[in-house]
Structure 1
Amino acid sequence: MKKPITIKDLAKSLNISVATVSRALRNSNEISSETKKAVLKLAKEMHYHPNLLARGLINKKSKILGVVVPTINRQFWSNSISGIENIAYKDGYKVMIFQSAESFQKEVEIVETLANSRVDGILIAFSKETREYEHIQQVLDRGIPVLLFERVCDELNTSKVVTDDFFGAKRITQHLILRGKKHIAYLGGPQVLAVCRERFLGFKSAMDDAGLPISPEHVIETDDFTFEIAKNGIYQLWNSNNKPDAVFCFADILAIGALDACKELGIRVPEQLALAGFGNDDTSRFVSPSLTTMSQPSFEMGQLAAKLILEEINSEEEDEFDFKTEIIKPNLIVRESS
Structure 2
Amino acid sequence: MSEKRRITLKDIARELGISVSTASRALNEYPGISEETIKMVQDFAKKHNYVPNSIAVNFRKNKTMTIGMVVPEVVHYYFSSIISGALDAATKKGYRLLISQTEEKAELEMHACHAMLAGNVDGLLISISNETSDVSHIQEFLDEGKPVIQFDKYSDKLKTPKVITDDYQGAHGAVKHLIEQGYKKIAHINGLENVQNSVDRLAGYRQALIDHHLEQHPEWIPHCQQITEEEGYRFAKQLLESKNPPDAIFCITDLVALGAMNYLRESNRKVPEEIGVMGFSNWKISEVMQPSLSTVEQHGYQIGLRATELLIESLQSNDKSLRDQKIEIQSDLMIRNSTLRKG
> Where on the TM-score scale, by shorter chain, does this alignment land: which range?
0.7 to 0.9
Equivalent residue number for residue 11 of structure 2: 20
2:284 is equivalent to residue 282 of structure 1: yes
How far does the alpha carbon of each residue in 1:95-114 deviate from its partner, in whole angstroms, 9 at most, with x for none?
11110110001101111111
Equivalent residue number for residue 187 of structure 2: 185
Equivalent residue number for residue 3 of structure 1: none
Which amino acid in structure 2 is aligned with residue 266 of structure 1?
A: N
Distance, in Å, in 2 between the alignment partners of 1:320 and 1:290 is 44
Q: CA deviation at 1:151?
A: 0.6
Written as runs of structure 1 = structure 2, the 5 A alignment for 1:246-257 is 246-257=248-259
Local SS of the residue matching 2:141: helix
How far does the alpha carbon of each residue in 1:56-91 deviate from its partner, in whole angstroms, 9 at most, with x for none?
332211111111110012211000000010011010
Q: CA deviation at 1:187?
A: 0.6
Equivalent residue number for residue 97 of structure 1: 99
Change (3 A) 1:16 1:64: closer
Q: CA deviation at 1:153?
A: 2.0
Work out whether residues 11 and 17 of structure 1, in 8 Å CA contact, stay in contact via their aligned partners in 2. no
Distance, in Å, in 2 between the alignment partners of 1:116 and 1:20 is 34
How far does the alpha carbon of each residue in 1:263-310 deviate from its partner, in whole angstroms, 9 at most, with x for none?
111111011110001111121111111111111111111111111111
Structure 1 runs not aligned, ≥5 long: 1-9, 44-48
Written as runs of structure 1 = structure 2, the 5 A alignment for 1:77-116 is 77-116=79-118
Distance, in Å, in 2 between the alignment partners of 1:261 and 1:166 is 27
Distance, in Å, in 2 between the alignment partners of 1:99 and 1:122 is 13
Q: CA deviation at 1:36?
A: 5.7
Work out whether residues 294 and 336 of structure 2, in 8 Å CA contact, stay in contact via their aligned partners in 1. yes
Work out whether residues 267 and 273 of structure 1, in 8 Å CA contact, stay in contact via their aligned partners in 2. yes
How far does the alpha carbon of each residue in 1:306-335 deviate from its partner, in whole angstroms, 9 at most, with x for none?
1111110000x4455555321112111211
Moved more, 75-84 or 27-36: 27-36
Q: What is the identity percentage for the equivalent residue pairs of Structure 1 and Structure 2?
A: 32
Q: Paired residue for 1:203, among 202, 205, 209?
A: 205
Work out whether residues 12 and 44 of structure 2, in 8 Å CA contact, stay in contact via their aligned partners in 1. no
Written as runs of structure 1 = structure 2, the 5 A alignment for 1:116-195 is 116-195=118-197
Local SS of the residue matching 1:191: coil
Change (3 A) 1:71 1:15: closer
Work out whether residues 297 and 330 of structure 1, in 8 Å CA contact, stay in contact via their aligned partners in 2. yes
Work out whether residues 56 and 63 of structure 1, in 8 Å CA contact, stay in contact via their aligned partners in 2. yes
Which amino acid in structure 1 is aligned with residue 93 of structure 2?
A: D
Which amino acid in structure 1 is aligned with residue 157 of structure 2?
A: E
Work out whether residues 230 and 258 of structure 1, in 8 Å CA contact, stay in contact via their aligned partners in 2. yes
Equivalent residue number for residue 241 of structure 2: 239
Please report the TM-score for the alignment, with normalisation by the length of structure 2: 0.85
2:321 is equivalent to residue 328 of structure 1: no
Structure 2 runs not aligned, ≥5 long: 14-19, 29-37
Which amino acid in structure 1 is aligned with residue 231 of structure 2?
A: I
Shift >3 Å, 4+ stretches: 10-40, 49-52, 317-324
Work out whether residues 21 and 39 of structure 1, in 8 Å CA contact, stay in contact via their aligned partners in 2. no
Change (3 A) 1:233 1:32: closer
Change (3 A) 1:182 1:321: closer
Local SS of the residue matching 2:178: helix
How far does the alpha carbon of each residue in 1:98-135 deviate from its partner, in whole angstroms, 9 at most, with x for none?
10110001101111111111111110001000112111
Work out whether residues 115 and 144 of structure 1, in 8 Å CA contact, stay in contact via their aligned partners in 2. no
* Number of equivalenced pairs: 320
Change (3 A) 1:79 1:319: closer
Q: Paired residue for 1:218, among 217, 220, 236?
A: 220
How far does the alpha carbon of each residue in 1:210-234 deviate from its partner, in whole angstroms, 9 at most, with x for none?
2222222211100012211211111
Work out whether residues 106 and 131 of structure 2, in 8 Å CA contact, stay in contact via their aligned partners in 1. yes
Moved more, 87-96 or 148-157: 148-157
Work out whether residues 121 and 313 of structure 1, in 8 Å CA contact, stay in contact via their aligned partners in 2. yes
Distance, in Å, in 2 between the alignment partners of 1:93 and 1:184 is 46
Moved more, 19-28 or 243-252: 19-28
